[in-house]
Structure 1
């Protein structure tokens, strides 16, 4: 699973951080980012994080987060 964050849409509401704190936080500009610790070496998020990431995607008030499954 790969996560994309549309920085043009992100308002820094931190809903993603609240729902998936081991995956997201806000950067110095109050924009959502994926924590490096949540990523595998191939850049994908571990399956262990899937359920919380999906909650964060659904909970984002600006729909700024999306996920794709890589083959």
Structure 2
């Protein structure tokens, strides 16, 4: 019974840690990260233009964070 519970737990742990790794890579590539509730691609691009002052690529890291990428 212990062996059957180990495999699903291992899968869950791998998913959790891989998601954190991907999020960390996205944050490192940001020129500027901006808090933005309900982040969407369009809102993020507009917020990057407003904050940085130039047309720049923007993407959401998560629902609460906009990432401005040069």
Tell whether the structures are fold-level matches, with TM greater than 0.5: no
Query: Which has more radius of gyration?
Result: 2
Which structure's residues are more often helix, by fraction? 2
Taking structure 1 as the reference length, what is the TM-score of the superposition? 0.26
Q: Which has the higher contact order (CA 8 A, sep 6+)?
A: 1
Taking structure 2 as the reference length, what is the TM-score of the superposition? 0.26
